[in-house]
Amino acid sequence: MTEGTRKMELVRTKADEVLPLTRVITKDLRPRVLVVGDPARAQRVASMLDDMQELAKNREYWSFNGSWNGVPITVISHGVGACGAAAVFEEVCRGGAQLVIRSGTAGGLQDDVVDGDIVVATAAVRADGLSQRIVPLEYPAVSDTHVAVELERQARKSGLTVHFGVLATMASFYPSPVLPNEQVLWRDAGAVGVEMEVAALFTICGLHRVRAGALVAIDGNPLKDNDEAMTDYQPDRQIVDRAVQSALQAALDTLATVEL
């Protein structure tokens, strides 16, 4: 160990302690956790579960317990962007989660990745603005291989088009009016979609030795549609909602299937 560095300690919270931002009591947190951005989506998932119980609602962090196919699961919303979402990822890891899956939405970057498709993430570009504050950029943001394969298998049951590849996680939602659009760079590098949280999830879970995976429903493709300024962005459409529901179902099925 060089001067000025320290060995990272893996923090684990005591069973009766309240996780500060999510306000979940550690003993209530299940080993299998589904994270979603929108609090309303967390509530939507909770309504799909058996034996549902509300745990806490604090800021954008809404949490619920329930079971899916007889397997206990916790669902927590994390809001928009890596910085706020990272607080959830950190707290569930500290609280004892063993498997965390994100189900969300993303924009397509390749011409064949369009509205209503699903992307299963194998890895993520760390342009999220947060993860480089935790560990150097040389550290990869990657999915657990077995989790990614199972997510793809479950997602294909929906009959929708499923892609398997790298997501670009970016710190900004709308592109800059003065700087070049980074989405073009990541498209040309082979990334299949763009979103705002997966790289932080993979990085934090990797550091905590927690298995992680992610899949997203595609709600548009600004580069294919020649709408880089995103003036025509309309995510609230039936074709997108169908993909969102299918992605949630695949995430829950994977959480209930993968052995810990």
Is the per-residue pLDDT at 88 higher than 70? Answer: yes
How many Cα atoms within 13 Å fall on the side-chain side of residue 104?
29
Task: Classify residue 27 by its DSSP letter.
Answer: G
**What letter would DSSP give residue 131?**
G
The answer to whether residue 55 scores a pLDDT higher than 60 is yes
Query: Which domains are delineated in the chain?
Result: 26-257 (3.40.50.1580)
Q: Which residues, at least 6 apart from 3, have a Cβ–Cβ distance to it below 8 Å?
A: none
- What's the alpha-carbon Rg for the chain, to the nearest Å? 18
Q: Report pLDDT digits (tens) over 235-248.
A: 789 999 999 999 99
Percent with pLDDT over 70 in the chain: 94
pLDDT digits (tens, 9 = 90+) for 171-218: 998 888 899 999 999 999 999 999 999 999 999 999 999 999 999 999
Q: What is the pLDDT of residues 120-179, one digit of tens each?
A: 999 999 999 999 999 999 999 999 999 999 999 999 999 999 999 999 999 998 888 899
Q: Count other C-beta atoms under 10 Å from residue 190's C-beta.
A: 12
**What's the pTM value of the predicted model, to 2 decimals?**
0.94
Cα(91)–Cα(108) distance, integer angstroms? 30
Give me the helices (H) in the chain, please.
Answer: 39-48, 82-94, 145-156, 182-188, 198-207, 238-257
pLDDT for the residue numbered 89: 98
Q: How many Å apart are CA 4 and CA 209, to the nearest integer?
A: 24
Statement: residue 223 has pLDDT above 90: no
